[in-house]
Amino acid sequence: MSAHLLDVRDLGKRFSRNGRLVTALDGISLTVARGETLALVGPSGSGKSTLGRAILRLIEPDRGEISFEGKNLLGLNSADLRAARARLQMVSQDPQAAFNPRATVARVIDDPLRIHGLGSRTERPAMIARLLERVGLSPDLHRRAVHEISGGQRQRVAIARAIATKPSLIVLDEAVSALDVSVRGDILELLADLQRDENIAYLFISHDLGVVRAVAHRVAIMDAGRIVETGDARTVVADPQSATGKALVAAVPKLRYRAATEKA
Amino acid sequence: MNHVRRFLATPEGMAGGLLLLGFLLVALSAPFFFPRDPLSIAGPALLRPFQDWSLPLGTDRLGRDVLAGIFHGARTSLAVSLAAASASIAVGAIVGTLAGFAGGAVDEVLMRVTDAFQTVPGFLLALAFVSVVGPSLGVVVAAIALSAWTGPARIARAEVLSIRERDYVASARVAGMHPLEIAFREILPNALPPVLALASVIVAQAILVEAALSFLGLGDPNRVTWGGMIAEGRAVLRSAPFLSIIPGIALVLTVLGVYLAGEGAVEASAARRSLA
Ligand SMILES: Nc1ncnc2c1ncn2[C@@H]1O[C@H](COP(=O)(O)OP(=O)(O)OP(=O)(O)O)[C@@H](O)[C@H]1O
Ligand SMILES: [Mg+2]
């Protein structure tokens, strides 16, 4: 049992590729509180997506423990895991790839409602309409195929699907990285809004420290499968202690400037 | 509609389409033009073609109408080949999807079974099956499907293996979808197009296997088949060669039509891809 919403202990995962072992996660421990945004940053290949996928149980870690809402996530059998997924959702970077190419907007949002038994067949269309409105889309969009709508609209549909089952944690893996700057701001605002209203926690995977500084409460910096630094998001971005953190901040000119002036 | 236009724009599609259209019209209109039992006696025996216009293609050794036989034989070929192709594609797609999606031991076992079926020549398998179970239309269909499902199974499995890793499958798992629903609702429909591309080959093969079984006397005895007509005519090949030649021509034209139409469809979809 843990007081935290999510409590990850000593998670390890190795992949074998062309006969060589790659250590993607090397003893990761972290916690996320209810309603909190924990940002996960780090260079490419540091294991951020692997960690997110392990927490979602899309891949099985080799060792470690994951406690979510007090449940031992790695110990659940497949039926219990499917039921638990209602509370643990994901939004990924490329919503085009994240949807079945044949799906319509309505079906994409209907799936989680139907699977988790929320609403009867006759009630669900109204629920879908409400969810579309909640993410700032017109309910008329429900008939459209997912490949017919814009990237920003698609990401909103992905968010509607994720919040359909009232999750307490959403893993956002580079969820705004592929969007235009203007659309990105709107989506971040929507996410902040949802967090305020429904007390959803986010594991916000990103390589954009500017965005992280604006949206995250805390940040964990990863390198080579380990967490090398954690702390308050603004503090860490302003004055990183680890070499990896310093390098990440140095790579963003605007932040480097801001860090220099804030320190002075 | 665009598909049809592009299909007909290719020479293969045009020729194949016309041959197939003729085949379909003949098969579907058989009970309309020849309402009598085609196995009943219609006139004098061994009447030559173009002698009597009420029996334009003549009669066989027992005085049965050859043209009526061709029409009703087309019906048998159509029914058998469509049923066999549908059955083998359905079985192949299901086996291939399960193997590719489940992986591990399930995949191993299913693919060894597929290998086993594939190493036995298809016609021998069908022949053995019909000789054991006895000839009837359903058994002939099952026998052909038994030898033809391995191709669709392999292609479906390869397709599923690549689709399995796509993001939307992960997304379905995160939504809590049951693995069987993921396999058959999310993955299978997207794996189907290349499997369906095999349909023309299987249909052509099924028509030929059915004809060959009938030729060997293992077709449904209560139905006229082109293979059976060719076999009938063999006894009088010197005196009345037309009895074997006419159903032979019908068989060749139909198989050619199916084959050309399949080529046309492939060309048309290739043209679409290069346009896109
Ligand atoms: N399915 C897999 N098979 C083999 N190796 C993998 C697999 N998934 C990830 N890896 C390896 O694990 C390491 C961590 O990858 P991961 O995708 O988690 O990095 P990341 O931090 O998300 O990077 P990016 O910022 O580029 O998305 C990399 O070396 C990667 O090549
Ligand atoms: Mg990643």
Q: How far apart are CA A108 and CA B84, in angstroms?
A: 35
Q: What is the average per-residue pLDDT within B261-272?
A: 81
Q: How far apart are CA A171 and CA A58, in angstroms?
A: 12
Does ligand 1 lie within 6 Å of residue A90's CB atom?
no
B176: left (phi over 0), alpha (psi -120 to 50) or beta: left
pLDDT over threshold 90, residue B8: no
B52 domain-assigned: no
Chain B contacts of A166, Cβ < 8 Å?
none
Does ligand 1 lie within 6 Å of residue A206's CB atom?
no
Q: What is the average per-residue pLDDT within B90-108?
A: 94
Q: Tell me what pLDDT residue A100 has.
A: 92
CB contact under 8 A, A90 and B186: no
Q: What is the average per-residue pLDDT within B50-75?
A: 91
Task: State the pLDDT confidence band at B33, using cuts at 50, 70 and 90.
Answer: very high
Cβ atoms of residues B218 and B131 within 8 Å: yes
Whether B172 has its CB under 8 Å from any CB of chain A: the answer is yes
Split into its structural domains, chain B has a count of 1
Range of the domain at B36: 2-46+58-275
Does ligand 1 lie within 6 Å of residue A132's CB atom?
no
Whether B174 has its CB under 8 Å from any CB of chain A: the answer is yes
At B247, list the tokens. 């159903």
Q: How far apart are CA B62 and CA B46, in angstroms?
A: 7
CA proximity to A218, closest of A197, A198, A195, A234: A234
The H or E element containing residue B111 is helix B104-119
Percent over 90 (pLDDT), chain A:
81
DSSP B131-177: HHH---HHHHHHHHHHHHSHHHHHHHHHHHHHHTTSHHHHHHHHTT-
Chain A contacts of B168, Cβ < 8 Å?
97-101, 103
Q: Is A4 helix (H, G, I), strand (E, B) or coil?
A: coil
Q: How far apart are CA B78 and CA B224, in angstroms?
A: 12
Nearest by CB: A97 against B168, B186, B190: B168
Does ligand 1 lie within 6 Å of residue A53's CB atom?
no
Q: What is the average per-residue pLDDT within B85-106?
A: 94
Alpha carbon B211 to chain centroid, angstroms: 11
Q: How far apart are CA B28 and CA B23, in angstroms?
A: 9
Q: Tell me what pLDDT residue A40 has.
A: 97
Distance from CA of A260 to the nearest CA of B (A): 41
Lowest average pLDDT, out of A105-119, A222-236, B33-47, goes to B33-47
Cβ atoms of residues B227 and B210 within 8 Å: yes
CA proximity to A61, closest of A71, A73, A69: A73
Quote the ligand 1 centre to A24 CA distance (angstroms): 6
pLDDT over threshold 80, residue A258: no
**Domains of chain A and any CATH numbers:** 6-87+168-262 (3.40.50.300), 100-166 (no CATH)
Whether B275 has its CB under 8 Å from any CB of chain A: the answer is no
CB contact under 8 A, B170 and A161: no
ipTM score: 0.91
DSSP B22-36: HHHHHHHHHHHH--S
B53 domain-assigned: no
List the single residue in A with minimal CA-CA distance to B182: A100
CA proximity to B147, closest of B166, B173, B133, B127: B127
Lowest average pLDDT, out of A134-143, A225-234, B17-26, B52-61, goes to B52-61
Q: Tell me what pLDDT residue A259 has.
A: 61
Does ligand 1 lie within 6 Å of residue A44's CB atom?
yes
- Minimum CA distance residue for ligand 1 atom 26: A44
B134 domain-assigned: yes
pLDDT over threshold 90, residue B46: no
Ligand 2 ion local residues (Cβ < 5 A): A 49
pLDDT over threshold 70, residue A54: yes
Q: Tell me what pLDDT residue A263 has.
A: 57
Task: State the pLDDT confidence band at A261, using cuts at 50, 70 and 90.
Answer: low
Q: Tell me what pLDDT residue B109 has.
A: 96
Q: Tell me what pLDDT residue B27 has.
A: 94
pLDDT over threshold 90, residue B3: no
pLDDT tens sequence across B159-190 = 999 999 999 999 999 999 999 999 999 999 99
Q: Tell me what pLDDT residue B275 has.
A: 59
B216 domain-assigned: yes
Q: Tell me what pLDDT residue B1 has.
A: 62
pLDDT over threshold 90, residue A207: no
Task: State the pLDDT confidence band at A2, using cuts at 50, 70 and 90.
Answer: low
Percent over 90 (pLDDT), chain B:
68
Quote the ligand 2 centre to B239 CA distance (angstroms): 79
Q: Tell me what pLDDT residue A253 has.
A: 72
Length of chain B: 276
Averaged pLDDT score across all residues of chain B: 91
B51 domain-assigned: no
Does ligand 1 lie within 6 Å of residue A50's CB atom?
yes
Quote the ligand 1 centre to A137 CA distance (angstroms): 34
Does ligand 1 lie within 6 Å of residue A17's CB atom?
yes
pLDDT over threshold 80, residue A1: no
Q: What is the average per-residue pLDDT within A190-194?
A: 96
Query: Helices (DSSP H) in chain A: which residue ranges?
Result: 48-55, 78-84, 95-98, 105-115, 124-134, 151-163, 181-198, 209-215, 233-238, 243-250, 253-263
> How many other C-beta atoms are found inside a 10 Å radius of the C-beta of residue B252?
10
Q: How far apart are CA B82 and CA B79, in angstroms?
A: 5
Which residues, 6 or more positions from B42, have their beta carbon under 8 angstroms from its beta carbon? Answer: B36, B55, B59, B63, B64, B65, B68
CA proximity to A54, closest of A69, A41, A72, A73: A73
Name beta bridge partners: A23. A14
At A217, list the tokens. 């409460």
Q: Tell me what pLDDT residue B115 has.
A: 94
pLDDT over threshold 70, residue B276: no
B109 domain-assigned: yes
Q: Tell me what pLDDT residue B273 has.
A: 62
Q: Tell me what pLDDT residue B14 has.
A: 93
At B143, list the tokens. 């026998």
At which residue do the structure tokens 């030729």 appear? B215
Task: State the pLDDT confidence band at A264, using cuts at 50, 70 and 90.
Answer: low
Substitution target from B164, B168, B187 for chain A, most A beta carbons within 10 A: B168
B-proximal residues of A, 34-63, CB under 8 Å: 53, 56, 58
No. of helices (H) and no. of strands (E), chain A: 11, 10
Q: What CA–CA distances, in Å, run from A103 to A98, A145, B181, B185, B247? A: 11, 6, 14, 11, 48
Percent over 70 (pLDDT), chain A:
95
Beta pairing class for A88-91 and A169-173 = parallel
Whether B170 has its CB under 8 Å from any CB of chain A: the answer is yes
Look up the CATH number of the domain holding residue B225.
1.10.3720.10
Q: What is the average per-residue pLDDT within A106-119?
A: 96
Inter-chain contacts counted by CB atoms under 8 A, chains A and B: 55
pLDDT tens sequence across A60-106 = 999 999 999 999 999 999 999 999 999 999 999 887 888 998 899 99
